[in-house]
Amino acid sequence: MAIPGASSASRAIDAVTSLEPAAELAPHRLVWQQARVEAIHAETPEVKSFVLRPANWTGFTAGQHVDIRLTAPDGYQAQRSYSIASAPDDSGTLELAIEALPDGEVSPFFHDVVEVGDTIELRGPIGGHFIWNAPLGGPLLLVGGGSGLVPLMSILRQRARVAPEIPATLVYSARRYDDLIFRDELLRRRDTDPNFRLEIALTREQARDGLHFGRIDAALMARAIGTETPKLTYICGSNPFVEAAASLALAAGLPFGSIRTERYGG
Amino acid sequence: MATRGFFGKRPTEIEAGRLPPGQYLTEDFPVLSAGPTPRVDLDKWSFTLKDGVRPVAKWTWDEFQKLPHVKLTRDIHCVTKWSKFNTAWSGVMIDDILAEAGIEAPTGFTLAHSFDGYTTNVPTADLVGGKAMIATAYDGQPITADHGGPARLLVPHLYFWKSAKWINALQFTARDEAGFWELRGYHMYGDPWREQRFTGD
């Protein structure tokens, strides 16, 4: 045991917190409210998107999520968190993209039971770290695995709405071409948005033109980073995916404090 | 009001009694963290007790290993809704750390600090009296980096974000200072049984 001198931890504290817009997310009470299901789309064989209109919705920040609460006739309840895929526009709606998990309790309900016109209970928005708004700036590097794309899609859509001049690169890994959520929209944005680059990595299907075959690796990460170091990097997916992608980003020289992660299931 | 068509996958009666409201049981051990996993070398590891800004005791990894280690098996509950039963930890009780430092807890509030800059606040009363430890092993093995190794705080009766990963200091504070998630809308106390997930719950 010894009495310490200066701690090296203070630098790390600055690194993690310096970019944080915590002050603008002044805590307020989150109230459960009913939301009407306005549209349902099959995005992939395993992912459906749901457009919800909450009764009293005051907006959100790209990257945030909501809590869903389902109630059985006898009062039993189940809650889950789902990221928002839509941009925080003035529509009064939000879009969730939900992957059907075979042993799940809530996701199979959404896939098999929910219909347009149903009401679903939710509260939010939630999350003050894995978020982006225009004042945070860029360039942005977004790295998503599977349904980890969802909060990144909100960020991409918001950037296109309010700050299309900010360079953004999305690295998106999925099993197969048909598992790419919002694929047509992403390809269209790639072809029409001069400041948006898209790198797709398919792990279980031979590459098509311009698509990488295999997991994200150092070469793909280097290409995604390019010549302009991203100011902020957002990584979302399963824990092994996030661990691997964050390690590649750090190995490529990106600062620890510039990388934000979200691990689904976590 | 019931949700049309929802009946749910019930936990068993025994499970239900151990599950706080809104939680579901998992056999996995999911991971939640705000940034990349920091890799903390054991020869650079240290743990410090602070009274305000003043350090009052500090241990290296080797010194920390010599403190009395005990086992604690508890159910844990994450604010993201999963709960996991019978998680088996070992480490050093906060009571023993204070005894080794030769001090009584000087204030009623504590802020836990981590190597990556993460912080979380816990009332001192929730750390002492056999309630909490600095854990260095899970399931008989060193805690892996993604689960907070080499050492993490374990406060199992509060939502698991209070159990700070990669811990390197406990700081006694004069006031209840909000930590990382608490500044971002999460509850200052975080009792799963009262479902204190967010501010105002």
User: pLDDT by residue (tens digit) across A190-208?
Assistant: 999 999 999 999 999 886 7
Q: How far is B146 from chain A (nearest CA, A)?
A: 8
Q: Which of A13, A81, A120 sits opposite B117 (nearest CB)?
A: A13
Residue A207: what pLDDT? 65
Determine the pLDDT at residue A239.
93
Which residues of chain B does A73 touch, with a Cβ-Cβ cutoff of 8 Å?
2, 7
Q: Is B35 on the interface with A (CB under 8 A)?
A: yes
Q: Do A14 and B117 touch (CB under 8 A)?
A: yes
Please give the ipTM for the structure prediction: 0.92
DSSP-based three-state secondary structure for B87: strand
Residue with tokens 């307020």: A28
> Which residues of chain B are modeled with pLDDT < 50?
none
The pLDDT confidence band at residue A22, using thresholds 50, 70 and 90, is: very low
- Is the pLDDT score of A5 beyond 50? no
- Calculate the average pLDDT of chain A: 90
Measure the CA–CA gap between A246 and A258, rounded to whole angstroms: 11
Among B22, B56, B199, the residue with its CB nearest the CB of A79 is B22
Query: Quick one: closest CA in A to B65, which residue?
Result: A1
Q: What is the DSSP string of B41-77?
A: -GGG-EEEEEETTEEEEEEEHHHHHTSPPEEEEEEEE
Residues of B whose CB is below 8 A from A50: none
The CA distance from A69 to the nearest CA of chain B, in Å, is: 8
pLDDT recorded at residue B94 = 98
d(CA B48, CA B101): 10
Q: Please provide the DSSP assignment of A207-258 as one string.
A: --TT-EESS--HHHHHHHHTTS--SEEEEEE-HHHHHHHHHHHHHTT--GGG
Q: Which residues pair with B152 in a beta bridge?
A: B135
Q: Which of B1, B3, B111, B166 to mutate to probe the A interface, most A CBs <10 Å?
A: B3
pLDDT mean over A76-94: 96
Helix (H, G, I), strand (E, B) or coil at B106: coil
- At residue A99, does pLDDT exceed 50? yes
Find the angle CA(B8)-CA(B192)-CA(A75) to the nearest 5 degrees.
30
Question: A173 pLDDT band (50/70/90 cuts)?
Answer: very high
Q: Select the more confidently predicted residue: B161 or A13.
A: B161
Residues present in chain A in total: 266
Contact A148, A63 (CB under 8 A): no
User: Which pairs from A17-24 meet CB under 8 Å and 24+ separation?
Assistant: A17/B117, A17/B180, A18/A257, A19/A136, A19/A232, A19/A257, A19/A258, A20/A128, A20/A129, A20/B183, A21/A128, A21/A131, A21/A133, A21/A135, A21/A136, A22/A128, A22/B183, A22/B184
Contacts of A66 (CB under 8 A, 6+ apart): A81, A82, A84, A94, A96, A122, A123, A124, A125, A126
Model pLDDT, residue A103: 87
Q: Residue B40 in contact with residue B114, Cβ under 8 Å?
A: no
Q: Please give the pLDDT value at position B194.
A: 97
How many Cβ pairs within 8 Å bridge chains A and B?
168
- Distance of alpha carbon B31 from alpha carbon A262, whole angstroms: 9
Residue type, A142: L
Span A44-70, mean pLDDT? 96
Any CB–CB contact under 8 A between A64 and chain B? no
Q: Which residue has the higher pLDDT, A33 or B33?
A: A33
Q: State yes or no: pLDDT of A27 exceeds 70.
A: no
- Tokens representing A7 are 């701690």
B46 touches chain A (CB under 8 A): yes
Note the pLDDT of residue B16.
84
Is the dihedral angle over the CA atoms B41, B43, B44, B47 positive or is it negative? Answer: positive
Residue spans of the domains in chain A: they are 33-126, 134-263
Superfamily of domain B67-201: Oxidoreductase, molybdopterin-binding domain (3.90.420.10)
- Residues with Cβ within 8 Å of residue B41, at least 6 apart in sequence: none
* Record: fold of A134-263: Rossmann fold (3.40.50)
Q: Do B201 and A29 touch (CB under 8 A)?
A: yes
The mean per-residue pLDDT over the stretch A159-188 comes to 97
| Fold of the domain spanning A33-126 | Elongation Factor Tu (Ef-tu); domain 3 (2.40.30)
For residue A250, what are the contacts with CB-CB under 8 A and spacing of at least 6?
A: A256, A259, B36
Q: Which residues of B touch A246 (CB under 8 A)?
A: 35-37
Q: Tell me the nearest-neighbour CA distance from A91 into chain B, angstroms.
A: 25
Parallel, antiparallel or unpaired: strands A94-99 and A47-54: antiparallel
Q: Provide the chain A residues 116-135 that lie in CB contact (below 8 A) with chain B.
A: 118-121, 126-130
Q: For A36-54, what is each residue's pLDDT tens digit?
A: 999 999 999 999 999 999 9
DSSP letter for A112, please: H
A113 contacts B24? CB cut-off 8 A: no
B183 and A14: CB-CB below 8 Å? no
Which of A15, A76, A261 lies nearest to residue B33, judging by beta carbons? Answer: A261
Give the Cα separation of A104 and A99 in Å (integer).
Answer: 10
For residue A26, is pLDDT > 60?
Answer: no
Q: Residue B35, SS3?
A: coil
Asked if residue A125 has pLDDT above 50, the reply is: yes
More confident residue, B19 or A12: B19
User: Which of B 104-163 lie inside 8 A of A, CB atoms?
Assistant: 113, 115-119, 146
d(CA B163, CA B175): 20
Residues 50-89 of B with CB under 8 A from A: 55-60, 63, 78, 80-82
